[in-house]
Amino acid sequence: MTKTALIIGVSGQDGAYLAQFLLTKGYTVWGSSRDAEGARFGNLDRLGIKDRINLISISPEDFRSVLVGLDQSSAQEVYFLAGQTSVGLSFQTPAETMLSNSQGMLNLLEAIRFQNRSLRVFHAGSSETFGDVGAEPAAETTLPHPRSPYAVSKSAATMLTANYREAYGLFACSGILFNHESPLRPQRFVTQKIIQGAHAIAKGRQDRLTLGRLDIARDWGWAPEYVEAMWLMLQCDTPQDFIIATGETNSLQSFVELAFAAHDLDWRDYVETSDSFSRPSDIAHSAANPSAIKAALGWQATSKMPDVVRKMTAACT
């Protein structure tokens, strides 16, 4: 029998790749955005799948709209990928960030409980939950130490998901996603800003690139691989939270170096730094231990940071 999935937040990077992946698996795919009639769905267009998705409007902060969306799609699997995704922006829009990420996920869990639906639900959690990790990479058991309104909103939604699983027996789980990138990433995120900046400089369309702190370090993976992990988590016998990451941490400076080297340029000739991109509090070092998902589901990231740079650069036009 054909399976049906609903992706709440289909217009973003992960929503688009997940929709594409589920179509290859033969799913009927429903995808939501706040205003499905007004939205452009540029990422779905870019992947050439817009016409194959049943597009509907859901505002996750609006309980009624979530209930109606679940009814309309009759999905067996629901993926919550909606909400405000920028850590930097969350310092300026803390309330909106809390509402869209925490209240939105709570509404979905409550709607499933209220309608007594036996569907499976995936929540996109974030490594931001862990804050700065020390020498020991974060594992599923690492205690939260959120350092931004975004991180607090994701931590709350992750805890709510676990609570509804334990209290009401819902098949609900969170993937604790570390940074994952692709050509669909907007330039508000540092990787795409660097890739596009280096490309524009190489083409003579731009002189300099201004960035914030270069000494921060992240675990950067390849987004199309991460959506497969999301799907695998809903195919398990029992729901469980997993870290989704490569297990390799690199500095932002090394990312910049590779992005410019891809055009035979020395980054030091073009990159300057400015405090205007600094955050009130930031994570200096983020690192993951993704061994649990490999052991349980056989999933592991094959593209590491240099592959991410290479593939994002290759997609530049």
263: burial class by Cβ within 10 Å (0-12, 13-18, 19+)? Answer: middle
Residues 6+ apart with CB under 8 A from 196: 187, 316
Nearest distance in Å: CB 176, ligand F7E:
9
Q: Are the C-beta atoms of 189 and 250 separated by less than 8 Å?
A: no
Does the protein bind ligand F7E through residue 178 (CB under 6 A)?
yes
176 touches ligand F7E by CB under 6 A:
no
Region from 45-53, 56-64, 177-185, 297-305 binding ligand F7E, contact rule CB under 6 A? 177-185
252 binds ligand F7E (CB under 6 A): yes
45 or 215: whose CB is closer to ligand F7E? 215
Nearer to ligand F7E, 118 or 210 (CB): 210
Q: Is 242 in the site for ligand F7E (CB under 6 A)?
A: no
**Residue 49 interacts with ligand F7E (CB under 6 A): yes or no:** no
Give the count of residues interacting with ligand F7E (CB under 6 A).
24
Q: Kindly tell me which of 174 and 179 has the beta carbon lying closer to ligand F7E.
A: 179
Q: Does 63 bind ligand F7E (CB under 6 A)?
A: no
Q: Phi first, then psi: give them for residue 32, nearest 5 degrees.
A: -115, 155
- In the complex, what is the shortest distance from the CB of residue 303 to ligand F7E, in angstroms, rounded to a whole number? 16
The answer to whether 128 is a known catalytic residue is yes
Query: What single string gives the DSSP state of each residue in 191-231?
Result: HHHHHHHHHHHHTTS-S-EEES-SS-EE--EEHHHHHHHHH
Q: Dihedral (C-alpha) 42, 47, 185, 32: value to the nearest 10 degrees?
A: 60
Q: Which of residues 260-299 bind ligand F7E (CB under 6 A)?
A: 277, 279, 282-283
- Residue 281's φ and ψ, nearest 5 degrees, are -145, 140
Q: Which of 27, 150, 164, 226 is catalytic?
A: 150
CB 30 within 8 A of CB 74: no
Of the candidate spans 33-41, 82-90, 98-106, 227-235, the one that interacts with ligand F7E by CB under 6 A turns out to be 82-90
How far is Cα 282 from Cα 147, in angstroms, rounded to an integer? 7
In whole angstroms, the minimum distance from the beta carbon of 158 to ligand F7E comes to 11
Catalytic residue among 17, 77, 102, 128: 128
Q: How far apart are CA 192 and CA 181, in angstroms?
A: 8
Q: What is the DSSP string of 114-126?
A: HTT---EEEEEEE
Helices 63-73 and 104-114 meet at what angle, rounded to 10? 60
254 token code pair: 């090394």
- Among positions 128, 225, 241, 257, the unique one binding ligand F7E when judged by CB under 6 A: 128
155 an active-site residue?
A: no
Please indicate whether residue 248 is annotated as part of the active site: no
Q: Which is nearer to ligand F7E, 85 or 303 (CB)?
A: 85
11 is a site residue for ligand F7E (CB under 6 A): no
**Cα separation, 217 vs 108, whole angstroms:** 33
193 belongs to the binding site for ligand F7E (CB under 6 A)? yes
Q: Please give the residues from 85 up to 104 whose contact with ligand F7E meets the rule CB under 6 A.
A: 85, 87-88
Binding site for ligand F7E (CB under 6 A): 85, 87-88, 126-128, 177-179, 188-191, 193, 211-213, 216, 218, 252, 277, 279, 282-283
List active site positions: 126, 128, 150
